[in-house]
Structure 1
């Protein structure tokens, strides 16, 4: 029988419970890189600002139209 304390990855780097955490960190880094890359491009920066203004305008319209203010 095998000893559960001496598994094949006892001192290794492949921890079973941390695969999801590692993947989430990698995805977060990729998302951060994508946003930084988009912000560095002048045309995409303008598009992001325009989309933000449109979204804020729509939210303000909905709040005012529904009488929440």
Structure 2
């Protein structure tokens, strides 16, 4: 198996920028899969809802405390 960090062209050109884009695309797919898998799990869904609700409550608290009061 070849190492993706090694230059397959024998040193003629380095496509480092394209490798970074390829890794970003792969990571996005992995992240998308992880989100979908977590949302399908009932306990994972509950954790996501609680975390986002806590973040929303914190944002509301900061807005009320700093802007209104």
| TM-score with structure 2 setting the length | 0.72
> Which runs of 5 or more residues in structure 1 are unaligned?
1-7, 10-14
Structure 1: how far apart are the matches of 2:41 and 2:68? 38
Q: CA RMSD in A?
A: 2.0
Cα deviation for residue 68 of structure 1 reads: 4.9
How many matched pairs?
57
Between 33-42 and 59-68, report the one with greater CA deviation.
59-68
Q: Which runs of 4+ in 1 moved over 6 A?
A: none
Which structure features the higher share of helix residues? 2
Superposition pairs for residues 36-55 of structure 1, below 5 Å? 36-55=36-55
TM-score after normalising by structure 1: 0.72
Q: Which residue of 1 aligns with 2:26?
A: 26
Which structure is higher in RCO with an 8 Å CA cutoff and minimum separation 6? 2
Which one has the largest radius of gyration? 1
